[in-house]
Every structure is written in structure tokens, then in C-alpha cells.
């Protein structure tokens, strides 16, 4: 976050207002070098500058990725991935292995039970 202005929205009503009424003002934001590299210099949905490209990417995501039909079709994949993530976390907590030989398990992994 650093020295840049950030907007935090805590309710769905405010999110709707911010995203619908102030979308253009919030769309153009500074990209650090790391963000520019990982977003292919703002060509993804999150970091794209407001303009024709942003509108096109947003439309494709809305129509193709976030439609109720697509979300329902991808449900088994999401369920499988969440199950694998929880299982992996459980295994890491119950059978910890230090990533570095000189650091003990207790120093590297803290599990909340």
C-alpha cells in the first residue's frame, strides 16, 4: 500500500456506488514494477487503465466468466480445489516439515486448533 491513496469499501451498497459512479476515477492507478510485470503492464482486468481495453476485458469477464451458468458449471472444480487446499493445510499442520534444515518446525509453522 505504501504512499499511494487507497479506497477501502466496507459494504455492498458503498461498493456499488464506488464501482458504478466513480469507476473512471478509480480505474487509472499507479502500478509498481512488480504489478506491471505480473499484469503484463496492466493488460489484465484488475490493473487495466480505464478505456476501451478495460471495458472489453470487463465485458468478457462479466459475460463469460461470472455468468450464473458458468459459475454453476465450474462448481465441481472450485469444490475440488478448496478440498485440496484444506487438506494441504491440514497436512502441513499435522506433519510439519521445515523448509530450511537449520530452522525448527516450531519456528516455521504455527497451527491454530
- What is the rounded CA–CA span in Å between residue 43 and residue 90? 36
Sequence length of the chain is 113
Q: What is the pLDDT, as a whole number, of residue 73?
A: 93
Rounded Cα distance, 75 and 70, in Å:
9
Angle at 111 (CA atoms; ends 107, 113), nearest 5 degrees: 145
Asked if the model's pLDDT at residue 108 lies above 70, the reply is no
| Model-wide pTM > 0.85 | no
Instruction: Identify which has the larger pLDDT, 14 or 85.
Output: 85
pLDDT digits (tens, 9 = 90+) for 76-86: 999 999 999 99
> For position 2, what pLDDT does the model report?
52
Amino acid at each position: 500500500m505504501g504512499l499511494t491513496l487507497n479506497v477501502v469499501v466496507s459494504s455492498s451498497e458503498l461498493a456499488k456506488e464506488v464501482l458504478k459512479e466513480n469507476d473512471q476515477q478509480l480505474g487509472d492507478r499507479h502500478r509498481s514494477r512488480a504489478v506491471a510485470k505480473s499484469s503484463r503492464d496492466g493488460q489484465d482486468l484488475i490493473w487495466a487503465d480505464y478505456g476501451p481495453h478495460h471495458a472489453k476485458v470487463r465485458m468478457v469477464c462479466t459475460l463469460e466468466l461470472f455468468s450464473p451458468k458458468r459459475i454453476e458449471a465450474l462448481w465441481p472444480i472450485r469444490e475440488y480445489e478448496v478440498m485440496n487446499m484444506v487438506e494441504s493445510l491440514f497436512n502441513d499442520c499435522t506433519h510439519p516439515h521445515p523448509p530450511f534444515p537449520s530452522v525448527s518446525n516450531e519456528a516455521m509453522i504455527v497451527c491454530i486448533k
